[in-house]
Chains A and B, each alone.
Chain A
Amino acid sequence: MASLVIAEHDNASLKGATLNTVTAAVKCGGDVHVLVAGSNCGAAAAAAAQIAGVSKVLVADAPHFADALAENVAAQVVSMAAAYSHILAPATANGKNILPRVAALLDCQQISEIIAVEAPDTFVRPIYAGNALATVQSSDAKKIITVRTTGFDGAAATGGSAAVETVAAQGDAGISAFIGREVAKSERPELAGAKIIVSGGRGMGSGENFKILEPLADKLGAAMGASRAAVDAGFVPNDWQVGQTGKIVAPTLYIAVGISGAIQHLAGMKDSKTIVAINKDPEAPIFSVADYGIVGDLFTLVPELIAELG
């Protein structure tokens, strides 16, 4: 049997989360096929065909797939499910929206946000905001899985040469419609895939004060993030949130500024390679996970750090 990976894409390009999901699919055994359901999504499909380890790319191209409405994409996946033992999607907002719908239609209990494949039917997933890891074995005929991208290295984006096939597109369910999107425009990398992240917490004091982190992020080519406390206080938008209720990240370098280190925040970033904490409270829990901590006033230390980086 084979695995089907639901590609994360914006029709024109493939999102990096697809690569991590392919790696998880390879570990499940068998061939790996990728479904690109979109509208005028030829470019995304061509990119998927380049991924190392993918043997076939299936394209469902129709106007009602343009914005990945769950009702339409789930119906498409279900129509193709018979050929697969495993169906996987990245645990992104999109994957988390669509895949449980697929699972229920197939009468399968989804396995959410896996971080390891122990066997084709056995997976490890975090529970309780990452404070415990559960190893679970599925008795369902098909394994429907979302993949926590930080748990798996990305497959090589090039080197593969999968066949691209068009599949029959299922119709528009006609019960939902896309109205619009407000995407925060930023020159900076996306939080989920950034190599370096500069993150601010309640200690920043205000949304205005987050501006002092911008030159630091610019200098390092970093994405900007925040703790839930900073989001709840209205300093920055919710899509900056790193943590169990926000994004799970694992950059090479994570710089936590004015973040105390609540459990729910640590759950979102503790897999970072190197963690730096800047906080005025020497007892802050963030220091218990930081490789390098510095105690002091962030409003002095951050400008110093920017200057030192030159």
Chain B
Amino acid sequence: MKVLVPVKRVVDYNVKVRVKADQTGVETANVKMSMNPFDEIAVEEAMRLKEAGIATEVIAVSCGVAACGETLRTALAIGADRAILVETDADLQPLAVAKLLAAVCKKEGPGLVILGKQAIDDDANQTGQMLAALMGWPQATFASKVTIADGKAQVTREVDGGLETIKINLPAIVTTDLRLNEPRYVTLPNIMKAKKKPMENHKPADLGVDVAPRLKTLKVTEPPKRSAGIKVPDIKTLVDKLKNEAKVI
């Protein structure tokens, strides 16, 4: 079974993002970029399926600017067998990405697609579910455990108030939550090896997908700042303030 792992290049999670003065977006020039952390968990999970003899081939896919090739090299260094870059300078929104991924799925015929539940830049949490819809496949979002057997995936999901387990037919889409696994560190020999692994390049037009954005960003602003309050010297003062000033207890 082939496993397809879509990965997104995002501003590194350690970077404190700054809103541009002209309110057109956030500053991304000269900012460290990395693989979306939830996608890293997805690549790790795919590798574990390969090591368990369930996946035969792990294919990483990324959609976006040429530099997404670097993110794909990271996926290859973690262990993916080959990569596909769908290259475009267009502003890609989740529906367009899902359409591009659907086109790739139709070419590659994976048994499973694993990707992050959300990207830490636009925080949309849509792509996996949309891809499942476009392919007519079942979905298991926010996965914390995945077991593949008898042509089905049993997935434990992180839901409000606890966990839920579902069983879905393959092929299927799984999106990862934080506790699914802890991604391995990439080693230098594997980074060297990754440079020799194959990477295909496509354009959205080759895949027959219209990626025109549906949402227009009118402005991007800083959230209202919460000002720091006071430090109280002792618990007695704290309780007094909560009772008589804030009136919350």
Given the interface contacts A94-B159, A253-B249, does A101 sit within 8 Å of B133 by beta carbon?
Answer: yes
CB atoms of A252 and B179 under 8 A apart: no
Contact partner, A309, options B11, B13, B234, B249, Cβ 8 Å:
B249
Given the interface contacts A104-B130, A109-B94, A309-B249, does A127 sit within 8 Å of B123 by beta carbon?
Answer: yes
Asked if A176 is an interface residue, CB under 8 A from chain B, the answer is yes
CB atoms of A179 and B226 under 8 A apart: no
CB atoms of A129 and B229 under 8 A apart: no
Asked if B129 is an interface residue, CB under 8 A from chain A, the answer is yes
CB atoms of B220 and A127 under 8 A apart: yes
Asked if A165 is an interface residue, CB under 8 A from chain B, the answer is no
Asked if B4 is an interface residue, CB under 8 A from chain A, the answer is no
Number of A-B pairs, beta carbon distance below 8 Å: 250
- How many residues of chain A get a CB closer than 8 Å to chain B's CBs? 89
Chain A residue contacts of B166, Cβ below 8 A: 69, 176-179
Asked if B177 is an interface residue, CB under 8 A from chain A, the answer is yes
Stretch of A42-50, A54-62, A80-88, A110-118 lying at the B interface: A110-118
Which partner residue on chain A sits nearest B167 by CB separation?
A177
Asked if B107 is an interface residue, CB under 8 A from chain A, the answer is no
CB atoms of A135 and B130 under 8 A apart: no
Asked if A207 is an interface residue, CB under 8 A from chain B, the answer is no
- How many residues of chain B get a CB closer than 8 Å to chain A's CBs? 77
Given the interface contacts A101-B139, A108-B95, A295-B231, does A128 sit within 8 Å of B26 by beta carbon?
Answer: yes
In whole Å, how far is A244's beta carbon from the nearest beta carbon of chain B?
7
CB atoms of B235 and A220 under 8 A apart: no
Asked if A167 is an interface residue, CB under 8 A from chain B, the answer is no
CB atoms of A176 and B216 under 8 A apart: no
CB atoms of B231 and A293 under 8 A apart: yes
A64-103 with Cβ < 8 A to chain B: 67, 69-71, 74, 92-94, 96-103
Chain B residue contacts of A175, Cβ below 8 A: 137-138, 168-169
CB atoms of A180 and B137 under 8 A apart: no
Scoring B93, B230, B238 by chain A CB atoms within 10 A of each residue's CB, the highest score goes to B238
In whole Å, how far is A4's beta carbon from the nearest beta carbon of chain B?
18
Stretch of A18-26, A33-41, A153-161, A284-292 lying at the B interface: A284-292
Chain B residue contacts of A218, Cβ below 8 A: none
Q: Mark B154-193, 1 if CB is under 8 A from A, else 0.
A: 1001111111111111000000011100000000000000
Which partner residue on chain A sits nearest B141 by CB separation?
A97
Contact partner, B142, options A97, A190, A275, A282, Cβ 8 Å:
A97
Asked if A9 is an interface residue, CB under 8 A from chain B, the answer is no
CB atoms of B214 and A192 under 8 A apart: no
Asked if A294 is an interface residue, CB under 8 A from chain B, the answer is yes
Chain A residue contacts of B231, Cβ below 8 A: 282, 287, 292-295
In whole Å, how far is A133's beta carbon from the nearest beta carbon of chain B?
5
A178 vs B140: C-alpha distance when bound (angstroms): 11
Chain B residue contacts of A309, Cβ below 8 A: 239, 249
Q: Mark B1-18, 1 if CB is under 8 A from A, else 0.
A: 000000000010100110
CB atoms of A132 and B160 under 8 A apart: no
- Sampled A-B contacts (20; CB under 8 Å): A100-B126, A103-B133, A104-B130, A110-B124, A127-B122, A128-B11, A132-B220, A138-B216, A175-B137, A183-B161, A238-B178, A239-B159, A239-B160, A289-B226, A292-B238, A293-B230, A293-B231, A294-B231, A294-B238, A308-B238
Which 7 pairs, one residue from A and one from B, show the smallest C-beta to C-beta distance? A109-B214, A291-B229, A100-B129, A104-B130, A104-B133, A100-B126, A183-B162
